[in-house]
Amino acid sequence: MLNRWASWLNQPWVRYPLMAFCLLATLLLLPGALYGPAMLYAGLMPGVDGRASALGWGLLGVGGLAGLAGAWVRLVLPAEAFQRSMRLRQAVATALLIGMLAALVQLGVLILRGDFQALAWCVVAGCFLAGGFLAGATLGEGPVAERSV
């Protein structure tokens, strides 16, 4: 099944809408994701007020940054690069899974806060679903000899 996802991702009718969604998600989420490493650093400093909060938001931002980076690497590099390198497949799939975890945590935060803004829900849930598809397609993009389409 995952190899079928990999072959779908190589089709323009799947790749281009995913790129458009990733562009929207990057524009909306990148400022917060870039703020994540600074929050993580602040949370690691001793004697900082709100240390636990800073650590939590920092980890969430770094996870989101990893997911965005993994998504763009998967969408920009050609399929042949993933077919040749198992390490690249593993690194990108790991980054995407970390990003999915960050999106899942963010969805939990939205639920706990009772925040039901449609744009936030659509973008975060879309990131989770797109990350799952891209991770599956990445894992399914094995060497050409292993693929049976």
CA dihedral (138, 141, 143, 146) positive or negative: positive
| C-alpha 140 chain-centroid distance | 17
CA dihedral (28, 59, 63, 35) positive or negative: positive
Confidence of residue 109 (pLDDT cuts 50, 70, 90): confident
Q: Supply 108's token pair.
A: 């939990």
Structure confidence by residue, pLDDT tens digits, 33-91? 888 888 888 888 888 788 888 888 899 999 999 999 999 999 999 999 998 999 999 99
How many Cα atoms occupy the beta-carbon half-sphere of 22 within 13 Å?
Answer: 24
What is the per-residue pLDDT for 137?
94
